[in-house]
Amino acid sequence: MVDQSELAWRMLCRKYKADLCYSPMFHSNLFAKDPKYRKDALQTCSEDRPLIIQFCGNDAETILEAALLAQNYCEAIDINLGCPQAIAKRGHYGAFLQDDWNLLNEIVKTLHSNLKVPVTCKIRIFEDRDKTIRYAQMLEKAGCQLLTVHGRTREQKGPLTGAADWSYIREIRENIKIPMFANGNIMDLRDVQRCLDETGVDGIMTAEGNLHNPALFTGQTAKTWYMATEYLDYAQRYPCPISYIRGHLFKIFHHILSLRPNANLREELAVANGLEKFRRVVQKVQQKYEPYHEGLKPYGKEEIDPSVLIEEHEYNMCLPPWLCQPYVRLSPEIHKQIVSEKARLAEDPSRDKRQYYDNEGKEISRKRMKKLRRRFRRPDKPEGKHDRHLENCRHCCCNPLGFKCVFRLCRICCRDRCYSENFDCLGHGILIKSRRAKAKLYEDTPRKDSDLTEEEKPEDGLAHCKRTNQDELRDALELISQS
């Protein structure tokens, strides 16, 4: 999982019975060429085993170079052939290599022949079952020693994700001999056993289900604040970028933050930039929902925030929102119906325009309604005021001072001081002293006549008058001859 299976998250998952973890997907070219990228990527420890390091790329030698640098830190090297995102299409890697079998054969063979650890692959299926089976057999023959099959096509992503088809996985399992993992539709522990029974694979991989509930493999429905606190403890022990932490907490608290009364919590989490601020958000969630969980207070269903695009279905909120649980997207069919209905209404000239009302029941414009919704999501933000808190210039008291100004003045006052006192200010880019010194130096070193060419030498006054008279006389003679 790109930017989401860092060391802190892997250690949390291992605590809750994840037998094998994968690194985030690393770009093979950057990993091989950029020492800083490689150092940041190879975050691991002795307890982080077994580990498979995953690469993407489209050149066999480059992927091999990266894998050779990583093989001492893991038990296997994985080639990601399943990423369906637009960036993978632009970079020509991931699932967008599945049509170039010659290149994939070369990549897998090269790694299999030169690495001391096994080579594994993760793929997506084709719509054609026979082609999918031949695809898996080609990778097996090239040297792939463990195959993970995601039961969705390359086009099944975002709102068109839909359900994974395990029947494809079962047919592949029956036609190859190497170990196999299944991926897709794993939302809880019951899905794990059901997938093993229906496909006959050797192991189960989960991504999104794990992000919403890292204790998935234990069958627990843990309290969100308890799981978030444990993750923050690991993040403190194994530091990672703030964006990773924020992303994980948004997944864990997904159902809580989708409720309208929790708009302030969502905003606070979005702007948090340190572990202590993240912990304060977790404490507020716990303080609000723990009395409900303990039965000290009755819980009434809270309204879903209208700014969050969620269709209410029973399978989205089968548990109280404060418990870790998966998020289930709408089916592609329902999504297509919604899109087509919106398009039909937009093209209908006789349609009634949607009316908007404020809290007092007065009709307002759509633009005004959007503004009110933004204000509701950020109630603590003062309306019409600048966000930045800048110190004013002590001379004029009306303009903000430049933080890089050597005199701690605004630009106008700084320029006046530089002119009057002959100074430079690099912060504002005002170079009065330097330019005056340069001009004075130019004046003090005139060029000698001996260094000038004939064209550059100035002529004296008498020569200038003679040349002028001659020109005027020549012009007069030309006029006479023409007349």
Phi, psi angle pair for 452, to nearest 5°: -95, 155
Structure tokens at 58: 């489209």
> Peptide bond preceding 50: is omega within 30 degrees of 0, i.e. cis?
yes
Task: For residues 154 and 57, give the distance between their C-alpha atoms in angstroms, rounded to a whole number.
Answer: 17
Q: How far apart are CA 62 and CA 113, in angstroms?
A: 15
Which ranges of 332-428 does DSSP label H, i.e. alpha helix? 332-347, 366-377, 411-421
Return d(Cα 386, Cα 306) in angstroms, integer.
Answer: 27
The full DSSP string for 124-151 is E--SSHHHHHHHHHHHHHHT--EEEEES
Task: Give the separation between CA 39 and CA 42, rounded to whole angstroms.
Answer: 5
Q: How many residues does the chain have?
A: 483
**Chain mean position to CA 443:** 57
Cα separation, 152 vs 247, in Å, equals 24
Tokens of 357: 């009302």
d(C-alpha 169, C-alpha 278), whole Å: 40
One of 21, 56, 83, 324 is an active-site residue; which one?
Answer: 83
| 194-205 CB burial, b ≥16 within 10 A, e <16 | ebeeebebebbb
Joined tokens for residue 202: 């050797």
Nearby residues of 144 by Cβ (< 8 Å), 6 or more positions away: 108, 112, 119, 120, 121, 178
SS3 label, residue 414: helix
Using a 10 angstrom Cβ sphere, with 0-12 exposed, 13-18 middle and 19 or more buried, the burial of residue 228 is buried
Q: Which residues make Cβ contacts (< 8 Å) with residue 256, sequence separation at least 6?
A: 224, 262, 265, 285, 289, 321, 322
Does residue 318 carry a catalytic annotation?
Answer: no
What is the bridge-based pairing of β-strands 356-357 and 363-364? Answer: antiparallel
CB 424 within 8 Å of CB 418: yes
Return the active site residues.
83
